[in-house]
Structure 1
Amino acid sequence: MDLRIFTEPQQGATYDQLLAVAQATERLGFDAFFRSDHFLAMGDGEGLPGPTDAWLTLAGLARETSTIKLGTLVTSATFRHPGLLAVQVAQVDQMSGGRAELGLGAGWFAREHEAYGVPFPAKRFGILEEQLEVITGLWGTPVGERYTFEGTHYTLTDSPALPKPVQPRVPVIVGGNGPRRTPALAARFATEYNAAFPEIDEIGGMFGRVRAVCEEAGRPADELVYSAALVLCVGRDEAEFVRRAEAIGRDPQELREHGVAGTVDEAAETLRRVAAQGASRVYLQVLDLADLEHLDLVAESVIPQLG
């Protein structure tokens, strides 16, 4: 199982803090460093010192790491024009030597759009679908050819479709818990389907819907990676676990029910349950970015139990 570190910088983080987490992620052998793409703190916190831009951050990390994958879970389709986003991600892929991955979603947090003057259309699924078509279309156009697209929301005319990523196909992650439209987008455009903070016993059913849509569309279902994102909170013993839960303002029992949480043995058992549901990859949501010992503990005491 691939284990990836997933951060929420809008809750409060500097670039230097993110760099420290990313470098620890690489040093400890995790597969990837991912971050959310938000511009406003959620809950009661102020998110000081303020938001950081996801793709600007990843560009910096591309030059200060060597092996880990780098990506978003997920970029909101409301934040960037697909033509510009295709350029940004391709450039980060070049800067990292082919380590960029793009998670893309429709966007949901209306308040952050209001706070920064970003339009928040009532209907966004069609925007997301066209963005996926444009971005993959631009990357997939051979050098020397032109790309044209005319949709309801976007029109591109005779684009040179440059620059190209280093990877022949930048991994595209489509996630969400919708029963019909999200699986259809994943089957059509994605290399990975992600279940975002699901009930663990429901993960297999979510994957099953995506697999069924793939088969209906004539795409082998096993072409996709199937993953889940879950909050991480682990301690060597009960006291350390409770201390970490308090540090992120979460109830220990709730964490045990919905996350990779508890003692190291409990965390390993939860990950085995997730694997049994069909996930080959888990994004571990790390909420206390100053607690690098948390990552050490998972690498030293949880991962070895997974075999």
Structure 2
Amino acid sequence: MATITKTQSGTYKVLIRKTGIPIQIKTFKSKSNAEKWARLIESEIDRGVFVCRQEADRTTVGELIDRYIQEVTPLKRSAKKDKQRMLYLKRHFGHFIVSQLQSKHIAAYRDKRLAEGRQGATIIKEIVSISHLLDISIKDWGIPLIGNVAKLVRKPQQAKGRDRRLIDDEEQILLQAARNSKSFLLAPLIILALETAMRLGELLSLEWNNIDMKRQTALLPMTKNGETRIVPLSKKAIETLSSIPRQLNDARVFWTWQQSDSFEKAWSRMLKQTNIQNLRFHDLRHEACSRFFERGFNIMETAHISGHKTLQQLKRYTHLKAEDIVAKMNAG
């Protein structure tokens, strides 16, 4: 069934013919490797488990990434970031024939990124992206790979989640600096963040027609996890929204910022006017969730407001003050 011939260049070409199966041809530098491969393919054919790998043997990872960017990336909410990540991965893995990509190659990439000082969370996202690419290739595109080698790679540890909370009079200082800034919607945005635990992207995309002042709710049609969420609004949140002037040609509440990066510039300028250190806007979501627990909200109530899907996710943002717990333990 298999014939092995030596070529003029000194390599060994294996040719396998079997009725009902495409002709299998592969070239090796050594005769022993050629014989080993021939025995493997013949064994798979005899056992009825043979899968033609020719497409995997002639397709590069770069070609798969190009197709992924065209067909899969546009369906994602973070399409822009996903495309940037996939193009970066293409520079490192694009030259590999997909059937020759091994877990050791991805592990070496992981170690290189760690040595460069990249955060574990960033590298995990990159490994997950490679894994998803291979999954799609196998399941949807019919690329005959034996398995997903990215799933064999040990992921790096993530940095400990931030537990930054507002202390002393930082909230007052923050709001005063916001009111003194040129961005007149900055203070209302901060208040809404503390009252609702909304993410920055959710706040910047919040529209007036999704706010029900009577029922005191805000509808978020599309959140980070891809689901719709209805956020209850406190009295203070309603009062803050009522004080915000509406823009006739923009349905958004916080219309002065088109994207999160433009807001971040305003945030950085404002913080420079204070003595507050190491505070990110996302820390306000952390602060809001912690306050919900301190006010007696249970896990389900807090998760309903914040949109966290698991307790583990919620724990990253929720750090109760030990002294408050002691006071509660000693109450009565």
TM-score between both structures, scaled by the size of structure 2: 0.19
TM-score between both structures, scaled by the size of structure 1: 0.20
Higher share of residues assigned helix? 2
Higher RCO, 1 vs 2 (CA within 8 Å, ≥6 residues apart): 1
